[in-house]
Amino acid sequence: MTARPQLPERTPRAKGEPTALDGLLVVDFTRVVAGPACTQTLADFGAEVIKIENPDGGDDTRHYEHAEIGGESAAFLSLNRNKRGITLDFNNPAALEVARELIAKADVVVENFSGGVMKKFGLDYASVAPTNPRLIYCSISAYGRKGEFALRPGFDPITQAESGFMSLNGFPDGEPVRTGPPIVDMATGMSACNAILLALIARDRLGCGQQVEIALIDTAVSMTGFYGMAYLISGANPGRFGNSPNGSPTVGVYQASDGPLYMACANDRLYRRLVVDVLERPDLVTDPEFAHRKNRTANREKLRAIIAGVFATDSLENWMAKMKKANIPVGYLRTVEEGFNAPEVRDRHRLSRIPHPTAGAVPNIETPLQMSLTPTVDPVAAPLLGEHTREVLQKTLGYDERRIAALTKAGAFGKTGNAA
């Protein structure tokens, strides 16, 4: 059995430091990946994020099977830090009234239900905006909230496939490959967070909120990047290139005598430095077949075989030392375990452990965003299902015990639910 890695406790933030989003109330109706990734960033920087879940099992990611600790999944823990969790049964009118009261107080609402769900319950933007005109209402979906495909559900790998993004990944002689991590979901969450922050700035100037919409298919199309733009200019359909974009023989994976490395010598200056100073093959500069970039591309298989043969003659550490001395862009090809334990990562203090009510402690991967004056809040682990229901009802909505008891009896928090 693999042992869990040992992680340090997180160093607390300095006392008295402000947060970027202090006082911002976010009502979070999201689940799975894109929406929770968005709201977690808001929570990391001080927003009060209230995550609303179905009492019957909650967010789907609670049951993902990558790994679990203390009864909570790795997926859920990774996406729902610093949130307060409550349960509401939307099929119960009393629960919907609680949801409307939270929205009426909110600065931001984020939802990523299938098309029509929020409207069905009277929680869509058109229904709630009149009572809260300063509200920023962000909808995340696969294909948008308007048009022929608005009601069609969709997921990260489907939009990777349908946008053309997946066709760019993999090797030329193989089938298209989806990315391992759900990159379109994560990028959509980042875009949604950016859009919300833009809308908040606009609210300060214009005095009113607005509806914000982010779609996975739009994100996937934008992530084709300059390959998509090249197609629009040339009409030529870009293909897969594995680890060597545009067939460059000096970009990609090479094997030293005892392990792999990834090299990225993408211009003439770096190429000359590589073959002369590192490989000690000045003939690869003077040979007309390799003297210029176009020639190297035309003869890439021959050149790649020569370079591979040289790399195979010495150890990984020797090559890495020579290449770093020559300032050649190169890196170790690591596993997740190796990467997380690498000095480049450890030096950044990105990994720690934080308290958890059922596990004792859980791993924590810090947000990549760092701000000098308004750093992240001290992280609190993702909530247990319904963990903060009573607290939110009392502190945010001002409910007394009698009203909470009445809601519990009415089944607002589920058939067997309680305001925790």
Mean pLDDT of 319-323: 97
Can you give the residue ranges of every domain in the chain? 25-225+350-410, 245-334
Q: Which CATH code is given to the segment(s) 25-225+350-410? A: 3.40.50.10540
What is the per-residue DSSP string for 261-274?
Answer: EEEE--SHHHHHII
Residue 247 has pLDDT above 90, yes or no: no
What is the identity of the amino acid at 129? A
Q: With contact defined as beta carbons under 8 Å apart, do 397 and 98 qualify?
A: yes
CB atoms within 10 A of CB 175: 10
Calpha distance 74→320 (Å, rounded): 34
Q: With contact defined as beta carbons under 8 Å apart, do 48 and 395 qualify?
A: no
What does each C-alpha distance from 387 to 52, 104, 248 come to in angstroms? 11, 22, 53
Query: What pLDDT does residue 293 have?
Result: 87
Residue 270 has pLDDT above 60, yes or no: yes
Query: What pLDDT does residue 266 have?
Result: 83
Q: With contact defined as beta carbons under 8 Å apart, do 154 and 221 qualify?
A: no
Query: What is the CATH topology of the domain spanning 245-334?
Result: formyl-coa transferase, domain 3 (3.30.1540)
Collapsing DSSP states into helix, strand and coil, what is residue 69? strand
Look-up of token digits 């993702």: 382
Mean pLDDT of 128-149: 95
Tokens of 321: 């030392």
Cβ contacts of 297 within 8 Å, gap of 6 or more: 246, 247, 248, 249
Query: What pLDDT does residue 338 have?
Result: 95
pLDDT band at 2 (very low <50, low <70, confident <90, very high): low
Mean pLDDT of 125-137: 98
Mean pLDDT of 257-273: 94
Q: With contact defined as beta carbons under 8 Å apart, do 108 and 41 qualify?
A: no
Catalytic residues: 185
Q: Kind of pairing, strands 68-69 and 72-73?
A: antiparallel
Following CA atoms 269, 274, 276, 282 in sequence, which dihedral angle do they give, to the nearest 10 degrees? -90
How far does Cα 82 stand from its chain's mean position?
Answer: 16
Residue 1 has pLDDT above 60, yes or no: no
Collapsing DSSP states into helix, strand and coil, what is residue 32? coil
- Say yes or no: do domains 25-225+350-410 and 245-334 share a fold: no
Segments of 193-323 assigned E as strands:
210-215, 251-256, 259-264
pTM: predicted TM-score of the whole model, two decimal places? 0.94
What is the identity of the amino acid at 150? A
Residue 420 has pLDDT above 80, yes or no: no
Collapsing DSSP states into helix, strand and coil, what is residue 39? helix
Per-residue pLDDT reduced to its tens digit, 53-83:
999 999 999 999 989 999 999 999 999 999 9
Mean pLDDT of 125-133: 97
What stretch of H or E contains 356? strand 351-356
Residue 417 has pLDDT above 70, yes or no: no
Query: What pLDDT does residue 244 have?
Result: 87
Collapsing DSSP states into helix, strand and coil, what is residue 143? coil
